[in-house]
Amino acid sequence: MEEDFDRELKVLVVGNGGVGKTSMIRRFAKGIYTDEYKKTIGVDFLEKALFVDELQEEVRFMLWDTAGQEEFDAITRTYYRGAGAAVIAFSTTDRASFDAVAMWKSKVEAECGEIAVALVQNKVDLVDQAVVSATEVETLARKLGLKLYRTCVKEGINVTEVFVYLAELNQRKQ
Ligand code: GDP
Ligand code: MG
């Protein structure tokens, strides 16, 4: 029998290398986490079906990871095509990743138009190594008009919430 999903949503997870994008996708789609850092080679994606209470429907999330070439502006058009939502992620411990957020937002908008976007500050467990203040993060989120989520992918904190929000926002935009 063919599976009948109410809705399919392609979600991009963008941001500088090392912020936890691959870990976030694996955590959400499979519920697993490892500390080892393998640079993602090529575009990769995982699927996750989730019944979203707020929408009263099952959403099939198609989670697209980047090519691990985040630094070189090398992401292909195929990556962006058909996306309905995007996570823009940075790390609490990586200043450059925070400074790159506006650039990532522009890139997503240029390729995808006005899709649903959320700003994610990952690695909040490493607060003692923080290089961005809570205030400047909130200021940037407000300036860019993005809802901010603070996640700890390592412990699985606030991860599902991000994707549920994107599914809701995507529906509101349709
Ligand atoms: P990507 O390059 O953005 O795909 O980043 P990865 O998912 O490969 O993660 C980079 C490193 O950060 C890996 O060693 C992960 O285990 C680690 N990492 C990811 N999320 C967290 C987190 O919430 N807390 C901590 N402490 N480490 C994390
Ligand atoms: Mg990766």
pLDDT single digits (tens) 11-26: 999 999 999 999 999 9
**Ligand 1 midpoint to CA 22 (Å):** 8
Work out the mean pLDDT of the chain and round it to a whole number: 90
**Does residue 87 have a pLDDT over 60?**
yes
Measured CA distances, 105 to 4, 14, 48, 117, 128 (Å):
33, 9, 24, 8, 27
**Ligand 1 midpoint to CA 21 (Å):** 7
Which residues have CB under 6 Å of ligand 1?
A: 17-23, 35, 37, 40, 122-123, 125-126, 152-154
Q: What is the mean pLDDT of residues 69-89?
A: 82
119 three-state secondary structure: strand
